[in-house]
Amino acid sequence: QSQKNKKAKQPNKIAKQTTKQQQNNLENNNMIESARIGINGFGRIGRLVMRAAIANPKTTVVAVNDPFLPIDYAAYQFKYDSVHGVYPGDVTVDKDTNQLVVDGETRITFYAERDPSNIPWTDVDYVCESTGVFTAVDKAKLHVKGSVKHVVISAPSKDAPMYVMGVNHEKFDPSTDVVVSNASCTTNCLAPLAKVLNDEFGIVEGLMTTVHAATASQLVVDGPCKGGKDWRAGRSAVNNLIPASTGAAKAVGKVIPELEGKLTGMAVRVPTSDVSMVDLTVRTEKACTGEDIKDALVRASKTSALKGILAVTEDKVVSQDFIHDSRSSIVDAGACIHLNDHFHKIISWYDNEWGYSNRLVDLVVYMHGVDRNNS
């Protein structure tokens, strides 16, 4: 009788083994189908791109390179974040393989090379270049070897094509755009606004000010500014409102060519750790009321191109309310003002870290889809 029971149980055991093998095959296939990312530079954006990519089922982080962080310290910095909180899963280090292990299953090989051409990217399709150093095409292109197809720079670039999700990302050409730029966090906030306003009402000209949170380029106490040119940038970030230059508004002209020469702007760095605000003042070709503009922005926010990127709120919000908001541009309807039917001020919030990092991952996902369709 026991022998019969043993034989009877055998098919169930085989079935369980088969199911497990099918699950393993499915996981392997998902990894092959997902966009495999390598990250060069594990600073603010590099770490948040990794969080965003791990949370996105269409991306897999394969490797990270940073010559200035021991792997233990990299794991610590990834897990603990003063703005975005403690990473909700497990973060450990496998010293035998020199890998970061996230949530017990995502294994990320850690390199420490200073020269991009020496990084042994393996099974990486897309490199996020987030050091802030290799922003020119010739430097960023050093990553392109082996399995690497494209490089996405997490900053504006003088010579790489700039793409903003929801605005001009569909112009990506895999045959020529080996290195691309995800533009800046401010351009990612401003460009969707400018596109909707220009499409609906026409922009004659405009000025933008971004009230921008402090960044790693600033100093805590007064000292010599980094680079030595912008003296005000060397003043204490925690004590001052600091006027600064920004190319974000002019960059919109590269993303939306018909706005070339129509927009310019500046920044004011403020003593907060995250979340910034675009203040855009425009003169429109067509007469329109504030309600007309709000309605146009609401409609645009519901389209497939801008859903999850552009939004409109009528709540009485402040900057802290947008910490860890993945959207790029959240219009504050109650803060907008209108002098007449041709002169308007639009206010829009953005988490300059988390929103931007999510758009970079979205851009990689889009590029991966184009590459697969063309393969």
- pLDDT per position as a tens digit, 45-84: 999 999 999 999 999 999 999 999 999 999 999 999 999 9
R_g of the chain computed on alpha carbons: 23
Closest C-alpha to 177, from 367, 359, 4, 372: 367
List Cβ neighbours of 237 (8 Å cut-off, separation of 6 or more). Answer: 214, 218, 219, 220, 269, 271
Is residue 127 helix, strand or coil?
Answer: strand
Q: Please work out, in degrees rounded to the nearest 5, the angle formed at the alpha carbon of residue 216 by the alpha carbons of 38 and 106.
A: 25
Give the H or E element holding residue 280.
Answer: strand 276-284
For residue 18, pLDDT over 60 is answered with no
For residue 28, pLDDT over 50 is answered with no
Mean pLDDT computed over 211-221:
95
Q: Which residue has the higher pLDDT, 200 or 2?
A: 200
What pLDDT, on a 0 to 100 scale, did the predictor assign at position 344? 98
Q: How far apart are CA 327 and CA 7, in angstroms?
A: 57
Share of the chain above pLDDT 70, in %: 91
Length of the chain (residues)? 375
For residue 114, pLDDT over 60 is answered with yes
What pLDDT, on a 0 to 100 scale, did the predictor assign at position 32? 54
What pLDDT, on a 0 to 100 scale, did the predictor assign at position 123? 94
Confidence of residue 228 (pLDDT cuts 50, 70, 90): confident
| Identity at 182, one-letter amino acid code | N
Q: Please work out, in degrees rounded to the nearest 5, the angle formed at the alpha carbon of residue 117 by the alpha carbons of 114 and 123.
A: 105
List Cβ neighbours of 136 (8 Å cut-off, separation of 6 or more). Answer: 157, 158, 159, 160
Q: Give the residue numbers marked as catalytic.
A: 185
| Tokens encoding 339 | 């002098």
